[in-house]
Structure 1
Amino acid sequence: MKERIQFAYENGDADYIDALLSIKDYSAVINQSEYVDKVSVYDQKQLNKLLEIEKDINEYKHSVAESLAEVEELKLEAEGEQEALEVMQEGKRATIKEYNLKIADTEYSIEQLAAIEAEQDAQIAAIEAEAAAARAAAEAAAAAAAEAAQTASSTDASPAVPSYSGGAFVWPCPSSYVITSGYGGREAPTEGATTFHNGIDIGCDYGASIIAAADGIVSYVGYFGGGGNTVIIDHGDGLSTLYMHLSSFAVGQGENVSAGDTIAYAGSTGISTGPHLHFAVRVSGSYVDPGGYL
């Protein structure tokens, strides 16, 4: 009874308090139905409140459980996204590392190609210098022979040293006029090829005849690195022509040739993607556009 009175007072249940205060004989009240009814109503009210509180608590627990489940789901999603992000980052790092290695390899290859090209240019320059010296000696010998012939009143004329006398060159590959790669900057067609093309490529059949573009002296016949089988002709006055990627030769070093003479046959030797003629022109030790002579 004490607890009921305290609870009623604390919760503002005036009816229950009034009923208790109106009692004059508490011993007689116990048996009165009115009192019992009031107590029963009060107990029912408290029970209902407790049930509502329990319901609220259960709903709150359910809400908290749902929130915790959502938080756990978001946590799992975040962890999954973090793992995916880490995998992507690792993949990016691996890709960057691969690109860096490729860049390093490319830079090394470019340096190698530049060194090879410089070495080949030096070899060609040496060939040209030797050819110029031989030509000078031949021209001096021819001049001396001509002077001696005049002194002796001889009718025999000494043979002239073949030289370029101007005008357009003869097209070096009569069977094809298809230029597959022009002179100047380009994308390297295959590994080991240069990005600056120092001549023109003429696409043709394997074994097609290759002819001298102008009169001259054959200064080189042989295999020449990336150019494969090569013929170089000295035309005098620092002018020379190069014919590369040949399958075989029709002349020997030191031979005199005239424009239109067959000097070799087309092939795909050296650094090449298929049968063709690489034709180049050099003037005073430097490559020039062959289009200015053809």
Structure 2
Amino acid sequence: MPIIDAARLFIRLATNLKKGTINLHSPLEEFVIRKCGDDLAYIDNRKDAKQIYGFDFWSNLSVDQLKNQGIEKRILYSESQQFPDFLFKVKKHGERYIDGSLIELKDSKGGNIASFNSTIPTKYKSLEEIDVINGNNLVSRIAKVMDGELALDERYFKFERRCFYLVRTHKGSKKVKVSIVDGSFFETIPKEHLFYQMFLNVLRAHLKKEKIEISQDTLEKVKKTLSHITDQTIIAKSQIIEGASVRPRLRIMAEVHSEGNPHGKFYPEITESSFNLILQASPQVKKLEKELLTLIPEIEVFSIFHKRNGEHRVFQL
């Protein structure tokens, strides 16, 4: 099977960790930019990429070329503060898109994973969804430029891209752990179900606070109605309210449950001072396992079992 973006990143980082050119306390941005910079279709902090890490994201394109494609000079070397932090270039396998994964960084000095701001961690996201989350199309515009002719296909913006999260906990201490985590580890129920349950919980909390009782029949009707609130692209859009001079917009944040933290107490196999790739178990991952063991014989491979989402394979250095 083709080696997926996350596995390619793991191989390069593991190789450099062994060489000592980086360590588990190096900036997470450096992990990605120095080792995979040429494979990226989007870098959020292009300013630091150039000034700190010496990587010019636009090196193969002139200012005039970029201007003609709608990329203004002011954003060339800036930090856009958009989601995600990184996006890999897409490839095609026959007529099918592959790769193009997104990488979001999560860095924490404690044992908990840093909160997810403005987005729900999932296994897949399309550029179309990313644009709605951000409230603009900057990420997709830049990615389209970098992906060139491959971005001309009408399926490009709807292509479901794998989501991976480069997570570090206990930053700066001997307890440090770093992992590339499959989005499946966090998405234990469909996000569509998560959204309407969230609104239902808000309603229940208000009813309890106001000491309002409604019949079970009415509650079931409300639940059925709320169950249609499933599309984050609609939820995240700015709303036009009659008579209002502002356009309210919901920004959804998420915190990781302790059982959804691969660095937490439920998964003692993820040891301190380790670097890990964590993927949901599948026949494809089984094939990938053989390739990774050939390339990095020192890694340990084992399973951890997520209470809510089953077996995940861990590749640990």
Q: Which is helix-richer, 1 or 2?
A: 1
User: TM-score, normalized by length of structure 2?
Assistant: 0.20
Bigger CA radius of gyration: 1
More relative contact order, 1 or 2 (CA 8 Å, 6+ apart): 2
TM-score, structure 1 length as denominator? 0.21
